[in-house]
Each structure stands twice: as structure tokens, then as C-alpha cells.
Structure 1
């Protein structure tokens, strides 16, 4: 395991006076394996002090279900239904439950723990402020709602992320509009999440492995508890419009300068390897809990 060394951070442009400058990446639409591989490649590069803190936006092509690190793919996801519907699948390096990535904007944040100290819950709350601000800039009355204020004591009925309450939810009119998950490795935080433009509860239910009698109930509860941002805007914003507002929201909430950049050649090479050997493989998606 590589450690984050203070002198290495200074040499690579992450001195105290420069921590307010983050890299902004727009990496377009990729497969599930590539998307997860790029997130991990950025984490590894940042842990070595090779790249600054990074905010990334991306999409999924084809649509995919991602499951949390501690879930078991064949227990939670109906693989035959996914094949029929043209839905890919992947196990995330982060925890949480299953998410259908389709008509959405996905974000990821990679930052050293020494630059954003605190527990998982505390750092999630800090990063969520940027998402809330960005959604407000889009015209939505978004709010960060504590678990004790919404869904207190409730347990999800399915493997779906948007069915499960967490410590803090980003909600609009009482409905969850962002699903996020976090992991920490090599002294670095990786948090990524789904911001659905359209939330398709029916498609998500079809992709999950559920008892037949529970499908209609889960579908109804998902539709009541979660939504896509187009449900509240009255129109369907573009990917670029949503990503642009979230970018400005992060910058304003965190007081940072976001500088557009690209993946380094080293990150690209590592992402290609991880997509091929890890996130695109059965050992990881169906069996693996070891890296």
C-alpha cells in the first residue's frame, strides 16, 4: 500500500497555499468497467502526489447496474434481465447498494484525507454541500436532510441504493435525488455518486433480483421516495447543463478553483489495466472482495 507523504505532496504542487486548486475532468460516456477503473486510477495517482484533488463528471454507455463492495452480484442483480435489457453490471470499490446508471450525471471526488479530515459521515456532509449548491443553481430547492429527519429507523426493502436511507440524504420535496458512496484507500477519499436526470424505477426493479410478489411494492416505494431532477424541473436538462451547475456549486461551496484538465498518460494506462484485469472480470464482479 502506498502512503501519502507530505514532502511528496509539496513537490507535486499540493502545498498548503495551493490546496484550493482542484482538477476538473469531463471524461464522457464509457462502459461500467472503464468508469470504475478511471476512478481508482485517479485515487492511485493522487495517493502518490502525482495529481491534485480531482472532481470528475462522467456517464455510462451502455446503461449499467453498479453494486456495492459488500453486495453479491448474483444474489442482488437479475443478470438475465440485464442481458435482455442491454444493461451492463459492475461491482464498485465503494459500499452501499445497487444503482442503475442510465440517464444521469455521475460525479466522483478524489482527495487526500489530510486535505479533508473527518469521518465518512462528516466528509460526506461537506462534499454534499457542493451538490446541494449545484442543484439549487439548476433551479431545484435541494436540501441536505439528516437521517433523523427523514426515514428514521427505516430499512430498505430491496438491494437498491435509492430505497435505502443513509445518514444524510440530498432531497427535493422529500424525495432522494442523489445516491453517493465512499471508500478510503492509501490515505485518499474516493466518493462518487449518481445524479439521475430521469429516475426509472420500473427499469431498476426489472434489473434487480426480487421475489415476484415484492416487485410492485418496491416499484411503488421507489417512485415515492426517489426521483430524477427532470421530475421537479418540468423539463429534461442536458448532461452538460447539469454538470455545469454542479461544477459551479462545488466551487462555490468549497471555495476552490476548478481547473479543467485531462487524465495523465499514467492514469490512462492504469485505468486500461484495471478495466481489463479487475472491473471487467468475473473474479471481481462475482466473487472478489480482495484486491
Structure 2
């Protein structure tokens, strides 16, 4: 079976998250093949992990002051600032014969497609080991930000996190999505976290700058959304042993995404629920 590949282009935060959930639901219904989707964000947005306490960890008023949307993801993890980035999402049945059954093994499987795409961009990235690179770091040096440290089988460059991914499994379907930062803005991200003082924000910004990097920094040249998207799309199928076929969202997915955006992902009852 061919996998669908969809380029959604640049969208708003609520729409981006609604489409991901609509894809998951459609796949759960057995109506559609596995799908990988590429998209971007406009305006910039902070996505909050499913289990995060929004007001405790993110400065909602500062996000609004800077014109940055806030949305809660269906997946776990910590806060991500989505701005100059290529985002991927994929949905596939948990029982697909190619996909390893455990979460960490499936991360490794999907990460190979990302690594091969980065190689096409001239970036020799690595996969982080199961023991998180900063597992011994004292808690006072951690933050509510996703790019604080790499997790199991995430993609790093020169010891710094390059791609942040998160996964959820619902209704027998895997949804994984992740951010490939074209440029990284640690100071802006730190300014949006709920930290007690300007000094604390500066400290976290410095820490994030040491622990994460971007495609442009790793490649030592500017990489556009289109170039990054083409490279990852070209490499992903062969790396996973599947054939990708260009496609678009079904009418049912589009209707479901519109409803989810309006009733869920645009609402504070969902985004600020914790």
C-alpha cells in the first residue's frame, strides 16, 4: 500500500492541530492509508503539551502581547515555539507490518527518514540514545520548553537537539509530529515561558541556546521551508521502505478539521484546560 504525502503549506495553529487530529480519526476509521504531512505556522504559535499546565508554564499574556497564538497539542511533551520551521506529522496504524510496536522503537524507525533527509541537506545528524543526553542534569537547569533536551531516538547535531518530536496513540493509530527548526530563537522562547524574573529568562535562553540548534546553523547556510520539505519528502519513503504518493486531504478530513478547529483548538476550554 502506498502512503499519502500531503503538503498543507502554512497555516494557523488551530488549523494545524485540527488537521492532525482529523487525519488520526480518519485513519482509525480504516478509510485512508498511512499519511505523512508537511506544514508551517503563520502567525507564530506556542504549542503546549497535552499534560502541561498552561498558565503555570507559559506566559499567556506575553504570548498575546507578542501576537503569538497558543494551542494545546494532542501529544505530550513540553512547550514549542513554532515560527521559522518545517513541521511534519504522520499517522499510521499501530499494527502496520513495518512499524515497530513499542514507542521508542517506532521513534527510531521514523527518525531514520528524518536523518536521511537531513543528509540530503548536507547535515550529518545523529540519533540520541535511549538515555536522554541530559538525564543527569539537575532539575533547576530544566525548563518547560521542548528543546531543553533530546529524548529517546530524537535527532541531534553535534550533541544539540535538532528535531523535537512527540507521539500519541489513540484508537489503534499512531500520530507523531515534530519540528525541524529552520532558525532557532531561544531568547524569544524563554520570554514566553512563565519564569519569575528577567534574569531567569536570560538564564533559560542561554541554556536553550547550548542545547538546541537549527537547520541553518547546522548546515552553515540558509535553508528554506521548501528546500527542507523537499529533502525530507524525498528521503522518507526509501528510508522506511514505502512508496509515497502525493495527495490532499479528503473532504471528510477537511470537514472534520474545520469542526475541530472551531470547537476545540480555538477554544480556551481546550488550550488552557490545565
**TM-score in terms of structure 2 length:** 0.95
In the other structure, the counterpart of 2:42 is 61
- Quote the Cα distance in structure 2 between the aligned partners of 1:187 and 1:147: 24
- Quote the Cα distance in structure 2 between the aligned partners of 1:121 and 1:245: 24
- Quote the Cα distance in structure 1 between the aligned partners of 2:136 and 2:33: 39
- Quote the Cα distance in structure 2 between the aligned partners of 1:92 and 1:56: 16
- Quote the Cα distance in structure 1 between the aligned partners of 2:19 and 2:154: 26
Which of 265, 269, 272 is equivalent to 1:279? 265
The answer for unaligned runs of 5 or more in structure 2 is none
> Is 1:263 equivalent to 2:249 in the alignment?
yes
- The 3-state SS of whatever aligns with 1:28 is strand
Which of 204, 210, 226 is equivalent to 1:224? 210
In the other structure, the counterpart of 2:147 is 162
- Quote the Cα distance in structure 2 between the aligned partners of 1:82 and 1:275: 20
- Quote the Cα distance in structure 1 between the aligned partners of 2:189 and 2:132: 26
- Quote the Cα distance in structure 2 between the aligned partners of 1:149 and 1:32: 29
Matches within 5 A, 1:1-291: 18=1, 21-115=2-96, 116-148=99-131, 150-154=133-137, 155=139, 157-212=142-197, 213-287=199-273
8 Å contact from structure 1 (residues 66, 98) kept in 2: yes
TM-superposition CA deviations, 1:8-32 (whole Å, max 9, x none): xxxxxxxxxx2xx100000011111
Worse-matched range after superposition: 118-127 or 154-163: 154-163
- Quote the Cα distance in structure 2 between the aligned partners of 1:71 and 1:205: 16
The answer for unaligned runs of 5 or more in structure 1 is 1-17
- Quote the Cα distance in structure 1 between the aligned partners of 2:74 and 2:91: 13
Counterparts in 2 of 1:263 and 1:161: CA distance versus 1, 3 Å = same
Worse-matched range after superposition: 148-157 or 246-255: 148-157
- The 3-state SS of whatever aligns with 1:146 is coil
Worse-matched range after superposition: 22-31 or 154-163: 154-163
- The 3-state SS of whatever aligns with 1:221 is helix
8 Å contact from structure 2 (residues 76, 167) kept in 1: yes
- Quote the Cα distance in structure 1 between the aligned partners of 2:149 and 2:52: 14
TM-superposition CA deviations, 1:64-101 (whole Å, max 9, x none): 00010000211111112111211101000000000000
Number of equivalenced pairs:
269
- The 3-state SS of whatever aligns with 2:92 is strand
- Quote the Cα distance in structure 2 between the aligned partners of 1:127 and 1:216: 34
Q: CA deviation at 1:149?
A: 7.1
Q: CA deviation at 1:168?
A: 2.4
The RMSD of aligned alpha carbons is: 1.3
TM-superposition CA deviations, 1:264-290 (whole Å, max 9, x none): 0100000000000011111111116xx
8 Å contact from structure 2 (residues 132, 150) kept in 1: no
In the other structure, the counterpart of 1:5 is none
**TM-score in terms of structure 1 length:** 0.89
8 Å contact from structure 1 (residues 113, 189) kept in 2: yes
